[in-house]
Amino acid sequence: MLFDYVEGGAEDERTISENVAAFSKIKLLPHRLRDVSKRTTDVDLLGTRIAAPLVVGPTGLNCAIWPNGDTALATAAKRAGVPFALSTASNERLETVAKVGGELWFQLYVVHRELAARLVDRAANAGYAALVLTVDVPVNGKRERDLRNGFQIPFRYSARTILDAVTHPLWTASLLMNGTPTLANLAADNATTLQAQNALLRREMDASFDWDDLARLRDLWPRRLLVKGVCSPEDIARCFAIGADAVVISNHGGRQLDDAVSPLEILPQVRHLGPVLVDGGVRRGSDIVKAVALGAKAVLIGRSVLYGLAASGEAGASKALSILYEEIDRTLALIGCPAASRLDETFIHRNDEGPLSRSAVP
């Protein structure tokens, strides 16, 4: 059940495959006889120096994967020297995770207007450095694996889920010892708890949230604001016009709209508009190098670090990050680039078609 939740996507899951394929279509162009005996992977991201051009992206229900999973991921990210984005759908309170320290971002789902405003205030008071507004969930994508499994929080007990639990005794024992995960950020707000939790579990966000609301949120939030889930060049340009500090080009990892365009395909068209990040399809450190060379300031990762978390908690998440870091470093050496901050399109083999093609952008 949980494997399908992490691994799965919307409908036929073609978008997941296309996200991965987009990276495989990009070919690196190595440069030789350059001094790469000393290499650096650190980059500047929105005024903050981070150890590598990656961010541990926001993922929900992490404590169902490993006890205190949100704190474990935040701790692993802090040790790796990269940002961690906590989801509204986390199982630990945002104030609890804030105690870990490091470069912390808070990802906001607007389920209920008043609740969203309170979450923004709480994130500001807790010291989160950035707010990541996710805008690609006006309704829930059709995730057929979850529908088949009956996956939801709190867990719905049926013959199928009981059999699933019995055949995974270590996970079940951990669940019994640590308790069933809850949506802690919503449970802490009694005014709209039941309505908001039900909506978030069904991923039924406020579908009326529009550009005027984004402008009001920009005025409300005092620090860096990122808008996540935007793919249209016109929409990306408008985000920057309103005052967003960065945009995350994203199709939600293929979990919302099947056959959605891959973020990497949009990146070359919009990189001049302002700081852009991408997610979806990242499986190797070389993928991160490709994205940065094409103009991304950093890449958000999800599934890779969640598999590490599922394997051995914080240590597994740290191992996953270290693998990506080592692969970034090795790729830099092999393409003749001594610093991730010096990556550009000269390290990419140009094609007349595909993700490197350009189109008119406002």
Task: Give me the active site residues, please.
Answer: 252
Q: In 3D, which of 57, 45, 75 has the Cα closest to residue 341?
A: 45
Give me the pLDDT at residue 359, please.
43
Give me the pLDDT at residue 200, please.
61
SS3 call for 84: strand
Phi, psi of 224 (to 5 degrees): -65, 135
Query: Please, what's the b/e burial string for 23-38 (b: 16 or more CB within 10 A of its CB; e: otherwise)?
Result: bebbebeeeeeeebee
Using pLDDT thresholds of 50, 70 and 90, give the confidence band for residue 338: very high
Highest mean pLDDT among 145-149, 164-168, 245-249, 257-261: 245-249
Give me the pLDDT at residue 199, please.
63
pLDDT at 341 over 90: yes
Using pLDDT thresholds of 50, 70 and 90, give the confidence band for residue 356: low
Range in 45-49, 92-96, 204-208, 306-310 the model is least confident about? 204-208
Average pLDDT over residues 227-232: 97
- pLDDT digit string (tens) for 241-259? 999 999 999 999 989 899 9
Residue 201 is which amino acid?
Answer: L
pLDDT at 52 over 50: yes
H/E stretch holding 185: helix 184-187
User: How far is it, in rounded angstroms, from Cα 133 to Cα 351?
Assistant: 34
pLDDT at 157 over 80: no
pLDDT at 269 over 90: yes
Using pLDDT thresholds of 50, 70 and 90, give the confidence band for residue 351: confident
102: which DSSP letter?
Answer: S
Q: In 3D, which of 344, 339, 341 has the Cα closest to residue 356?
A: 344
Tell me which CATH homologous superfamily contains domain 2-347.
Aldolase class I (3.20.20.70)
Within 266-362, strands assigned E span 276-279, 299-301
